[in-house]
Amino acid sequence: MNTIAVIGAGTMGNGIAHVFAQSGYQVRLVDLSEEALANALATIEKNLQRLLSKGRIEESTVTETMGRIATSSELQKTVADVDLVVEAASERLDIKLKLFAELDASTPEHCILATNTSSISITQIAAATQRPEQVIGMHFMNPVPVMKLVEVIRGYSTSDQTTTTVLDLSKKLGKIPTEVNDYPGFVANRILMPMINESIETLFHGVAGVQEIDTVMKLGMAHPMGPLQLADFIGLDVCLSILEVMFEGFKNPKYAPCPLLVNMVRAGKLGVKSGEGFYDYSDSKKAEVVSAQFA
């Protein structure tokens, strides 16, 4: 396992590329947008410089890590000889099915196809390929360079060999992998998203304000970040998408998204990335403060 392709250069994709490259792997970061690729490299270097300034890494680590990352907007050529693909594209089933069919046709037979999906069925994604035994979920937490957990999700046909390989690989990245089975939301979001949704319901019904709800959870439950601020950090559109997947998968009303969340997403208030969510991030420094909490 030497060469890794990461598909998608957004927040999760650049974080995944960062940890693989810093761990000594050759990384190919793929995205259709050249701007996204440039921003990803800038983000990775910025995060490495932050670690350097805190004395956690040496200057040589910055140079070597950046040197292991190559970017490309051409998928087929880039993945033709890789050992592992980690997909971190949009959280939409149609996109993932199309992408995995293309990856299946373009990668070597031995290549493992992993997805960073936070809620979509691994079994369903694997069905788009001719190698379902080599398809697996590799759900990193945000921010990837900092958070230790990797949720490793077995699809219905995922082999023991594929699972063992990914568990071992996650440990080599300095992460703590936890194996779970393939049900909507897996473990992390099956528990987290109803909490966030209930926090939004609490706000929606006027029980308390944004600051008050987050303060109760931070001081009363020892959460490092309140659920509404965390929702802003994740992205309200992502939270809505995950809840919709779980609601569709379980047909249980407890997973139905709060109307306030639906309306905020429709209005384009997505959290940190849009400049406004439950909090105002119009000042770029405020967004930097939120991101730095996990640094």
So which residues are the catalytic ones? 118, 139, 151, 189
User: Which residues fall in the annotated binding site for NAD(+)?
Assistant: 8-13, 31, 91, 96, 118, 142, 273
Q: Is 268 exposed, middle or buried (0-12, 13-18, 19+ CB in 10 A)?
A: exposed
Query: Tokens in use for 145?
Result: 């360079």
Omega of the bond prior to 143 within 30 degrees of 0, cis? yes
Strands (E), 101-184: 112-115, 135-140, 149-154, 176-181
* Cβ-based neighbour number of residue 288 at 10 Å: 12
Tell me the C-alpha distance between 120 and 87, whole Å. 13
Phi, psi of 122 (to 5 degrees): -65, -40
Both tokens of 99, joined, read: 């992408």
> Residues 294, 144: contact at Cβ < 8 Å?
no
| Cα–Cα distance measured from residue 272 to residue 274, given in angstroms and rounded to the nearest whole number | 6
H or E element at residue 84 = strand 84-87
